[in-house]
């Protein structure tokens, strides 16, 4: 009987100890930390996708009022006379202008230029006037979307789309910032744009000059634009049917900004 009593006593002591033990591997201080980590997990940021900035939208821009977009601060050097540049319309007033970066109707949906003017280096401007004269004989004209782009405006563009796949970094500078590049198309005698297959500043293979899955008329229009510009000293690029750079001379980058009050 005495042995039974001793066994029962030891068994009760063992049960009491087990009831007060914590689960193996979890201390009293670890429990709240685990709970905190579990609650924070859903807020963890996902890794940024490879490729950086998203591809700019293409096609027709959405209608956004310039007032809503907000007017940018005046560009540095604005108001200086542009020494070494010629305003294209001073050589031929029949050249049509639609300077998109002076409006919100461009792929950035923001106004980049303070006002719409078209300047080029003298040699490039004279070549554009010559191309206009060649086209006039066929009942056609040029319509320019972009010309000289001062580096302060190139900086604004980069600030909107900091992606070298679509915008040249300001430090490197583009042919536009040298006053030696134009973005343009063809229009008929009534000012209607000829069909080029895509809108201006369309980012896609359809805008490439090597893309041939287009109508015969579109291909003919692109060919006429390219051959006319090449005949006066310009050269196009593969990815944009509208972009041409003057190759007759090398020009430095420029920060000078045209005066909007002239």
Could you list the active site residues? 240
Per 3-state DSSP, what percentage of the chain is helix, strand, and coil (rounded to 5)? 35, 10, 55
| Token pair for 249 | 């001379």
| Token pair for 56 | 């700019």
Q: From the CB of residue 31, how many other CB atoms can be counted at a distance below 10 Å?
A: 12
Q: Where are the beta strands (DSSP E) in the chain?
A: 86-87, 96-97, 119-120, 140-146, 181-188, 234-236, 243-246
User: Which H or E element spans position 135?
Assistant: helix 122-136
Q: Which residue has the tokens 């679509």?
A: 166
Quick check: 112 and 101 in contact, CB under 8 A? yes
- Residue 86 β-bridge partners: 120
| Token pair for 114 | 């303070």
User: Which H or E element spans position 227?
Assistant: helix 216-231
Q: How far is CA 29 from the centre of its chain?
A: 53
Query: How far apart (Å, rounded) are the C-alpha atoms in residues 180 and 247?
Result: 8
DSSP state of 218: H
Q: From the CB of residue 106, how many other CB atoms can be counted at a distance below 10 Å?
A: 22
């Amino acid at each position: 009987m005495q042995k039974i009593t001793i066994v029962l006593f030891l068994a009760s002591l063992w049960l009491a100890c087990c009831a007060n033990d914590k689960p193996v591997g979890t201390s009293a201080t670890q429990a709240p930390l685990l709970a905190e980590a579990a609650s924070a997990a859903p807020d963890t940021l996902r890794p940024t996708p490879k490729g950086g900035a998203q591809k700019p939208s293409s096609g027709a821009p959405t209608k956004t009022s310039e007032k809503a977009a907000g007017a940018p601060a005046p560009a540095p050097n604005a108001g200086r006379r542009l020494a070494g540049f010629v305003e294209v319309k001073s050589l031929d007033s029949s050249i049509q202008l639609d300077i998109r970066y002076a409006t919100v109707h461009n792929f950035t949906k923001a106004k980049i230029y303070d006002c719409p003017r078209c300047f080029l280096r003298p040699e490039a401007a004279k070549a554009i006037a010559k191309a206009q004269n060649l086209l006039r004989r066929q009942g056609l004209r040029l319509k320019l979307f972009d010309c000289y782009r001062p580096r302060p405006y190139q900086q604004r563009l980069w600030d909107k789309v900091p992606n070298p796949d679509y915008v040249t970094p300001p430090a490197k500078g583009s042919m536009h910032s040298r006053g030696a590049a134009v973005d343009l198309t063809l229009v008929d005698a009534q000012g209607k744009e000829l069909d080029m297959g895509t809108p201006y500043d369309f980012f896609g293979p359809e805008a490439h000059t090597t893309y041939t899955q287009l109508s015969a008329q579109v291909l003919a229009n692109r060919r006429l634009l390219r051959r006319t510009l090449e005949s006066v000293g310009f050269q196009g690029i593969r990815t944009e049917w509208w972009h041409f750079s003057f190759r007759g001379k090398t020009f430095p980058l420029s920060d000078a900004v045209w005066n909007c009050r002239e």
